[in-house]
């Protein structure tokens, strides 16, 4: 069947909306796009531009429409402005996609929980709506602000989430904890909620030959990849590095931090203040799988310093599974869904949020190559046999096939 063909009079096309990251940088969304394409379903995407991105491009048969995002800022009013600007630009591009490509299903990926209103407009024309829930926005807010959370804003986030659930024909959840939320507080029928985990692609993420230059003259390399926001607590990793270098006198370890986020500049300042410039490298966001693979193949450990919080405990952390795909043992805190993902491929540090305990666990694993090899093999096997995207793709595509067949 040709790309975007019709079946039973309905266009076999899906529009995917994502605001958090550009595509294909958002690995989950890109895997989703390719899976739909491979099933003969046409795909259009609306997302923000990354650095140097064109307004439109077609990659691997996926049509990607991009808008200029507003400049990053802080404060409640700035966040509202950001959401409004992105929503209006997305709406404008959706009209263009409707005219040019057409679509019978619209999928929105949160955060934020605001695109139900756009989906509702298209539902009036017979389009079905799939809510791909990447995060729990109320829990994200609580994790960032804790006791300082504004009850009015929190109530608003809960209302938006309820409207998102209520408007959706189907909900896709990244794990069983999120599925339970959709059923319990979203009042969705169990058969309308499908778990699709964010499994990595082991054909792209695997352990290859190391690049000794990435260690920058040190014996060991520890790596972090992902968002660097308040809830991710990468500052705990920096404090652990400080304890290792300046208290224990371990000058044999390099730390590479891949990614970015709201705390990026603050973390850079922390590294300078603690005198860790010779041990901590900020790589930034990496778009090339080969570069990520090089760092992971050279590293001895993957680090996940996310502590317990209303969000972290029940979220699936993609970085953990990406480490496992490259045979990296993981040092992390004992979060519910992290234990589900990693099993025996990780060391779970107690007490929670303790950089000294975290550093101690890192040192113990660095000094035990046999344990690292054993845990790395366990992690890779779990990815290949259980967690990889190929084991999730069927459930994901099945959601759309059922909607297109109605």
**Residue 108 to residue 354: CA distance in whole angstroms:** 37
As a whole number, mean pLDDT of residues 111-137 equals 94
**In what side-by-side order are the strands of the sheet with 42-48?**
56-59, 62-67, 42-48, 13-18, 105-109, 128-133, 170-173, 193-195
Q: Where does the pLDDT of residue 406 fall: very low under 50, low under 70, confident under 90, or very high at 90 and above?
A: confident
Render pLDDT for 256-269 as a digit per residue (tens, 0 to 9). Answer: 999 988 899 999 99
Please check whether residues 337 and 349 belong to one and the same domain. yes
Residue 342 lies in a domain: yes
H helices of 168-317, in order, are 176-184, 234-242, 264-273, 289-298
Residue 206 lies in a domain: no
The total number of structural domains in the chain stands at 2
Q: How much is the pLDDT for 285? A: 86
Segment among 3-17, 41-55, 57-71, 223-237 with least mean pLDDT: 3-17
CA-angle at 318, arms to 316 and 323, nearest 5°:
125
CB 296 within 8 A of CB 326: yes
Sign of dihedral through CA atoms 92, 94, 99, 100?
positive
In 3D space, the residue among 281, 225, 238 whose CA is nearest the CA of residue 27 turns out to be: 225
Q: How much is the pLDDT for 335? A: 94
Q: How much is the pLDDT for 321? A: 93
Please check whether residues 252 and 280 belong to one and the same domain. yes
- The DSSP output letter for 324 is H
- The DSSP output letter for 65 is E
- Taking phi over 0 as left and psi of -120 to 50 as alpha, with beta for the rest, 50 belongs to beta
CA-angle at 376, arms to 316 and 259, nearest 5°:
50
In 3D space, the residue among 149, 301, 134, 107 whose CA is nearest the CA of residue 227 turns out to be: 134
> What global pTM score does this model have?
0.85
Residue 85 lies in a domain: yes
Domain holding 295, by residue range, is 212-387
Render pLDDT for 297-354 as a digit per residue (tens, 0 to 9). Answer: 999 999 999 998 888 889 989 899 999 999 999 999 999 999 999 999 999 999 888 9
Please check whether residues 176 and 294 belong to one and the same domain. no
Please check whether residues 218 and 114 belong to one and the same domain. no
Please check whether residues 250 and 382 belong to one and the same domain. yes
Please check whether residues 278 and 360 belong to one and the same domain. yes
Residue 207 lies in a domain: no
Question: Which helix (H) or strand (E) is 381 found in, with range?
Answer: helix 369-382
Tokens of 367: 């000094």
Please check whether residues 47 and 133 belong to one and the same domain. yes
Please check whether residues 256 and 291 belong to one and the same domain. yes
Residue 84 lies in a domain: yes
Sign of dihedral through CA atoms 193, 194, 195, 200?
negative
State the average pLDDT for the chain: 91
Residue 26 has pLDDT above 80, yes or no: yes
Please check whether residues 279 and 307 belong to one and the same domain. yes
Q: Where does the pLDDT of residue 366 fall: very low under 50, low under 70, confident under 90, or very high at 90 and above?
A: very high
| Domain harbouring 104, CATH code | 3.40.50.2000
Please check whether residues 151 and 233 belong to one and the same domain. no
Residue 386 has pLDDT above 70, yes or no: yes
As a whole number, mean pLDDT of residues 15-29 equals 91
Please check whether residues 331 and 230 belong to one and the same domain. yes
Please check whether residues 70 and 143 belong to one and the same domain. yes
Question: Which helix (H) or strand (E) is 342 found in, with range?
Answer: helix 336-342
As a whole number, mean pLDDT of residues 92-107 equals 96
């Amino acid at each position: 069947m040709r790309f975007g063909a019709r079946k039973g009079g309905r266009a076999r096309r899906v529009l995917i909306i994502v605001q958090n990251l550009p595509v294909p940088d958002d690995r989950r969304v890109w895997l989703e796009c390719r899976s739909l394409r491979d099933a003969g379903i046409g795909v259009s995407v609306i997302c923000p531009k990354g650095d140097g991105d064109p307004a439109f491009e077609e990659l691997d048969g996926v049509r990607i429409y991009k808008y200029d995002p507003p400049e990053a800022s802080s404060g409640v009013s700035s966040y509202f402005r950001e959401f409004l600007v992105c929503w209006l630009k997305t709406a404008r591009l959706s009209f263009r996609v409707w005219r040019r490509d057409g679509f019978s299903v619209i999928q929105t990926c949160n955060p934020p929980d605001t695109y139900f209103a756009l989906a509702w407009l298209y539902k009036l024309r017979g389009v079905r709506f799939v809510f791909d829930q990447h995060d729990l926005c109320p829990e994200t807010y609580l994790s960032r602000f804790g006791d300082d959370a504004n009850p009015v804003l929190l109530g608003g986030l809960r209302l938006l989430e309820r409207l998102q659930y209520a408007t959706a024909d189907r909900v896709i959840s990244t794990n069983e904890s999120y599925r339970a939320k959709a059923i319990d507080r979203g009042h969705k029928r169990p058969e309308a909620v499908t778990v699709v985990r964010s499994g990595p692609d082991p054909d792209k993420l695997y352990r290859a030959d190391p690049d000794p230059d990435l260690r920058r003259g040190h014996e060991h390399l520890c790596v972090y990849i992902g968002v660097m926001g308040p809830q991710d607590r990468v500052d705990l990793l920096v404090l652990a590095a400080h304890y290792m270098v300046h208290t224990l006198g371990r000058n044999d370890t390099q730390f590479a931090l891949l990614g970015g986020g709201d705390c990026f500049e603050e973390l850079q300042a922390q590294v300078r203040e603690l005198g860790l410039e010779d041990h901590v490298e900020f790589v930034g966001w990496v778009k090339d799988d080969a570069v990520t693979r090089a760092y992971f193949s050279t590293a001895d450990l993957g680090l996940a310093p996310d502590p317990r919080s209303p969000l972290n405990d029940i979220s699936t952390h993609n970085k953990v599974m990406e480490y496992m795909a490259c045979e990296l043992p993981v040092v992390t805190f004992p979060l519910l869904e992290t234990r589900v993902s990693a099993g025996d491929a990780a060391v779970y540090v107690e007490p929670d949020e303790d950089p000294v305990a975290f550093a101690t666990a890192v040192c113990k694993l660095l000094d035990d190559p046999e344990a690292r090899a054993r845990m790395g093999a366990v992690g890779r096997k779990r990815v290949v046999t259980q967690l990889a995207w190929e084991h999730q793709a069927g459930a994901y595509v099945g959601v759309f096939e059922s909607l297109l067949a109605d």
